[in-house]
């Protein structure tokens, strides 16, 4: 087993009572001393939660072919992305299944910045560098030098504003700015994974601890991975390794909205078109237990008494109860009588709509 | 973290209070702390017989599902129904309001530790 990596905030996490666990090759805080529920509540009730998500990867794509290259290797349409804008996108393989889901930041026509999943970092970079051989483009993995903090919740802007030289009010939802953070160049985007207003802050490792401490001094509180997963599941946001993987396409994962079949050729396009024509083998649905229990990943889902699929993410939501995302057979996607098998018992459930709780992102 | 002197403990971090032939079960302070925020407790049915060491209840935290094992054998005569609505009592008062079940003892028991022995066990 290789040694786990530590982010620059490691000592801060420990001193704040962080319970450190292995996660995507890093030692990360699953919760701090107050526990996941209090952390979750703090973010949902208008605080400013600070998340160390430095484990995630960052890749800079630059060169005269940057745009045609990304148009070919990602699913979303770069023609619709303006400078200073971010969009959600994906890397597919030839089979149309997911290599990763990513966010793409457009700095200019010849420079883009990608945020990728920690567990997929080396796979993604190898794939991008391999595909880049046919283009005049440079793919540079900046993950080791970059700290990524997410600041999420109603008070996020108030906590962050004193640290940056730009009026954050001017950064709209899924927009970003290259700013000075604590006097050093960084990127701040109004993006996140919680359903609350907030920012993701990309800074060099050298100033990470100083920025972290200053945000805490401005009223932010640290939030661990457990609460982060609760917040994202309540929104129904897909997570690689759960709802999306190299065995599903955007058709099954309900991610056709980031897969633009009318933009020209891209890796995986033909396979996705074929899957769409044939119809998916399974469909992702949102369910809510009507009986007592907590639906969890891998639990079996039944429709009209017949096993139809499995849960990919499930949780106890303080606001919505037992909620889950699950893949089911297409013929059962609209079934009324669903149940989840929990410890051998069928617990009744119903199909519901996403998000499970109201989103407060700034539209 | 507290370890009351009037209780006995198991290596699975359960506690038992023995009063005549009635035993009250719960999980230790150490166990609730290790689990984190408890959000669901599945209680046994009254009238059920449990063997010593048998899983008789389930405690679920935000991230984990844990079986709870009976320190002694017997018949379940009462369960703490308050935990169905307020499972967090296991976190806030593990040895009091967070009790899980009461059984009428029928003899067999696991190896039980005193508070001092359990404290030593935790330190090992």
Cα–Cα distance between B50 and B69 in angstroms, integer? 9
Nearest to B36 among A36, A292, A294 (CB): A36
How deeply is A361 buried, as exposed, middle or buried, from its count of CB atoms within 10 A (0-12, 13-18, 19+)?
middle
- pLDDT per residue as tens digits for the range A264-309: 999 999 999 999 999 999 999 999 999 999 999 999 999 988 999 9
Q: Which CATH architecture has domain A282-351?
A: Beta Barrel (2.40)
Kindly report the average pLDDT of chain B as a whole number.
Answer: 96
- pLDDT per residue as tens digits for the range A284-295: 999 999 999 999
pLDDT category of residue A2 using cuts at 50, 70 and 90: low
Q: What pTM, to 2 d.p., does this model score?
A: 0.95
- pLDDT per residue as tens digits for the range A238-258: 999 999 999 999 999 999 999
Do the chains contact at A316 and B60, CB–CB below 8 Å? yes
Q: Judge whether B40 lies within some domain.
A: yes
Q: Judge whether B23 lies within some domain.
A: yes
Which letter does DSSP use for residue A258 in this model? G
Spell out the domain ranges in chain A. Answer: 1-279, 282-351
Q: How many separate domains does chain B show?
A: 1
Cα–Cα distance between A206 and A208 in angstroms, integer? 6
| Probe site for chain B from A33, A37, A232 (most B CB atoms < 10 A) | A37
- pLDDT per residue as tens digits for the range B86-118: 999 999 999 999 999 999 999 888 899 999 999
- Give me the CATH number covering residue B18: 2.40.50.100
Q: Judge whether B99 lies within some domain.
A: yes
Which letter does DSSP use for residue A246 in this model? T
Q: Does domain A1-279 have CATH number 2.60.40.10?
A: no
- The answer on pLDDT for A1 being more than 60 is no
Q: Judge whether B118 lies within some domain.
A: no
- CB contacts < 8 A, A to B, total 35
Find, in chain B, the residue whose alpha carbon is nearest to that of A31.
B36
Give the domain extent around B67: 8-109
The percent of chain A in helix, strand and coil, each rounded to the nearest 5, is 25, 35, 35
Q: Judge whether B21 lies within some domain.
A: yes
Do the chains contact at A316 and B65, CB–CB below 8 Å? no
Q: Judge whether B2 lies within some domain.
A: no
Does A200 show up as a binding residue in the annotation?
yes
Which residues 6+ apart lie within 8 Å of A125 measured at CB?
A: A57, A59, A139, A141
Q: From residue A210, how far is each of A128, A183, A217, A238 by CA, in Å? A: 33, 11, 10, 32
Chain B residues with CB under 8 Å of A343 CB are 42, 58
Measure CA A291 to chain center: 30
Report chain B residues touching chain A, CB-CB < 8 A. 36-37, 39-40, 42, 58, 60, 62-63, 65, 84, 91
Kindly report the average pLDDT of chain A as a whole number.
Answer: 97
* Residues B57-82, mean pLDDT to the nearest whole number: 97
Tokens coding A126: 């190898």
Nearest to A294 among B60, B84, B91 (CB): B60
Q: Please tell me the predicted confidence (pLDDT) of residue A150.
A: 98
Q: Judge whether B117 lies within some domain.
A: no
Q: Judge whether B120 lies within some domain.
A: no
């Amino acid at each position: 087993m290789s040694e786990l990596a530590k982010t620059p905030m490691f000592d801060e996490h420990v001193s704040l009572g962080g319970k450190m666990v292995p996660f995507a090759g890093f030692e990360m805080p699953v919760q701090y001393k107050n526990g996941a529920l209090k952390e979750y509540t703090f973010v949902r009730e208008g605080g400013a939660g600070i998340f160390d998500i430095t484990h995630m990867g960052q890749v800079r794509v630059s060169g005269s072919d940057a745009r045609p290259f990304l148009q070919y290797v990602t699913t979303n349409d770069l023609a619709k992305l303006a400078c200073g804008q971010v969009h959600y996108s994906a890397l597919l393989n030839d089979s149309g299944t997911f290599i990763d889901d990513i966010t793409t930041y457009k700095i200019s026509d010849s420079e883009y910045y990608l945020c990728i999943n920690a567990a997929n970092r080396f796979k993604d970079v190898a794939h991008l560098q391999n595909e880049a051989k046919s283009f005049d483009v440079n793919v540079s993995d900046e993950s080791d030098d970059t700290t990524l903090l997410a600041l999420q919740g109603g008070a996020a802007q108030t906590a962050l504003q004193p640290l940056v030289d730009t009026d954050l009010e001017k950064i709209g939802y899924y927009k970003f700015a290259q700013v000075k953070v604590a006097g050093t160049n960084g990127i701040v985007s109004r993006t996140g994974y919680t359903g609350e207003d907030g920012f993701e802050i990309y800074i060099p490792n050298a100033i990470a601890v100083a920025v972290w401490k200053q945000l805490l001094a401005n009223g932010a509180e640290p939030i661990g991975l457990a609460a982060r997963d609760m917040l994202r599941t309540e929104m129904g946001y897909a997570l690689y390794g759960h709802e999306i993987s190299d065995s599903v396409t955007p058709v099954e994962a309900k991610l056709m909205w980031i897969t633009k079949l009318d933009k020209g050729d891209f890796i995986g396009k033909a396979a996705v078109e074929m899957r769409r024509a044939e119809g998916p083998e399974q469909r992702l649905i949102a369910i809510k237990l009507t009986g007592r229990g907590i639906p969890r990943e891998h639990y079996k889902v039944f429709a009209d008494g017949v096993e139809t699929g499995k849960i990919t993410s499930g949780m106890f939501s303080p606001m919505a109860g037992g909620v889950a995302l699950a893949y089911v057979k297409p013929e059962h996607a609209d079934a009324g009588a669903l149940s989840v098998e929990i410890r051998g018992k069928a617990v009744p459930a119903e199909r519901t709509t996403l998000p499970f709780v109201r989103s407060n992102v700034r539209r | 973290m507290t370890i009351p002197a009037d209780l006995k403990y198991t290596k699975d971090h359960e506690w038992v209070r023995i009063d005549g032939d009635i035993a009250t079960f719960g999980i230790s302070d150490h166990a609730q702390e290790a689990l984190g925020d408890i959000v669901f407790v599945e209680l046994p049915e009254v009238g059920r017989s449990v063997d010593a060491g048998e899983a008789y209840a389930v405690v679920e935290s935000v991230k984990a599902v844990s079986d709870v094992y009976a320190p002694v054998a017997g018949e379940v005569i009462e369960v703490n129904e308050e935990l169905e609505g307020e499972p967090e009592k296991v976190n806030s008062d593990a040895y009091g309001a967070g009790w899980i079940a009461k059984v009428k003892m029928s003899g067999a028991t696991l190896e039980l530790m005193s508070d001092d022995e359990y404290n030593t066990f935790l330190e090992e």
